[in-house]
Amino acid sequence: MLSIDRAALAAAVASLPERFKGPGGVVGVMKDGEVIVREAWGYADPDVGLPMTPSRLMPICSISKQMTCGVLLNLVGDPSALDERLTAFLPNLEGRRPTVRELCDNRSGLRDYWALTVLHGAHHEGAFRREDARPLFARMKTTHFEPGSQYSYSNGNFRILSDLLEERSGRSLADLYADHIFAPAGMRDARLASDTAGPLNGTVGHEGNASVGWFPATNRIVWTGDAGVAATLDDMLAWERFIDRTRNDADGLYGRLSTPSAFADGNPARYGMGLARDRIDDVAITGHGGALRGFRIRRLHAATERLSVVVMFNHEADAHAAAIFLMRAALGRPSAPRSGVPADQGWAGSYLEPSSGLSIDVTVHGNAILANLGGGTEVLSFGEDGVARSAGMTISRQGDGLWLDRPGDNLRGLAVRLDGDAAQDIAGRYWSAETESTLEIKAVGSAFAGRFDGLLGRGPMHQLRPFAGDVWRLSTPRGMDAPAPGDWTVQVRRTVDGAVGGLVIGCWLARNVPFSRIV
């Protein structure tokens, strides 16, 4: 069993405010069921000088998902008992309907509803009420992959699950959390705080950075099931203590939540029941992150070492990186320097992976390949075997294209190189039967922008930039959810005479949404 180097861990904790700059934060580390780190720094609200403490409530955002699944296991047991009820939530869905278990495992194939709010005309600082969710789900007609075949993060899976649980029990999700999660774990101040419009006992989330400064984030979303739980650091350490206390219980809740699962083809999955599975070297970890505009949260648990780390920021620094940094310090395994050999510049270019419909921008820096799939840049090291690797993806050359393998998503495919300049003829109006919304693209001089109009209103103009060939990128750097969808891939579909007949639009969370040209 691991022995903690307390001095090294203390030094790592002390470095966090400078490494991950922002108004404030809290961090906790638990070993063998005992709290060995419980620290806070900075301000919960710098405007009024309110200090951050371990007893300040913060939204734990998507960490709520594992707790929603915990209620499901305690209340219902076998998730399939609720499968038939999904018809009422997805009345227009064509093809095979996902199962409730596939919702819990993010293998439903349902496009993420927070990403789809962009296509439904939402403004990033608009309001999203609880009653707005169900009509949005009801409009879904297709999945972006066959349920069970791949992984794709979809908050809507857990939003639907929360309604199923309330319907089954006749009780509010707040009461179900209290009975099945908070009370057994001793989370004394935790609660369901679905409305994110106001601060929780004074804690204000902040956008911004050290260059431009920090400013209060605007949130006007009502969450339930996919997020919504608010907790203090002490509550989160109570959750970790509960996990450790029940580690040898054959029917322990966390043991049931963290049981390994597989895709429909038998390949092992890295996500299930609201928990992500990963490794730090040879140490298996489970955990999850949380992100709301102005907040970043991460919890990690290494069962074999009886070691847990919790990081909570009221700003948008990388809580995942901070949690990994602390876990490595506690394990005595500092990050190794990136290795590899210089990469051939021939890798650089613009590509499209046809099955997902996602564009990929590849650049080369020394022994690193930087691949941007529209939602952020992934850094891969180039090896002597001619393969570029990161923790989540490998890329190898295949002819003029790139073979991508993302085991965690169960996605493999040949990305084809795109050449040529985009034709400047995309201005017009487009209609999507999938979302029942319109897209109007306008040209102002040599610049293009598009606006969606749909269920949630008439959204702002989003900049469109030519990518390569007949592919563009539509940018949404700020969305209702955090992080925002980022860059959407826009593929132009042409008629036999070469005119623009329509578009196929997608991002990592919501792929291949067709739009037909109407004007």
* Catalytic residue list: 62, 65
Q: Give the CB-side neighbour count of residue 130, counting CA atoms within 13 A.
A: 14
Report d(CA 358, CA 371) in Å as an integer. Answer: 12
SS3 481: coil
Are 200 and 58 in contact, with CB atoms under 8 Å apart? yes
What is the DSSP annotation of 296-365? EEEEEEEGGGTEEEEEEESS-S-HHHHHHHHHHHHHT-PPPPP---PPPGGG-EEEEETTTTEEEEEEEE
Q: CB pairs under 8 A, 24+ apart, for 492-498?
A: 492/422, 492/423, 492/426, 494/470
CA distance 469 to 480: 31
| Sequence-distant (≥ 6) Cβ neighbours of residue 150 within 8 angstroms | 107, 109, 263, 409, 410, 411
Q: What is the DSSP letter of 96?
A: P
Residue type, 247: R
Tokens at 515, concatenated: 């739009």
Residues contacting 421, CB < 8 A, separation 6+: 466, 468
- Taking the C-alpha atoms of residue 483 and residue 490, their distance in angstroms, rounded to an integer, is 20
What single string gives the DSSP state of each residue in 31-91? Answer: ETTEEEEEEEEEEEETTTTEEP-TT--EE-GGGHHHHHHHHHHHHTSSGGGGGGGHHHH-T
Question: What 8-state DSSP symbol labels residue 218?
Answer: P
Element (H, E) at 177: helix 173-177
Distances (CA, A) of 2 to 204, 241, 243: 37, 18, 18
Element (H, E) at 155: helix 155-169
End-to-end distance of the chain based on CA atoms, in angstroms? 68
Structure tokens at 289: 């992150």
Q: Across 176-238, where does the E strand assignment appear? A: 191-192, 206-209, 213-216, 229-231
Of all helices (H) and strands (E), which one includes residue 417? strand 411-417
Residue with tokens 């050359």: 397
Sheet containing strand 271-272, edge to edge, reads 50-51, 34-45, 24-31, 307-313, 295-302, 283-292, 275-280, 271-272
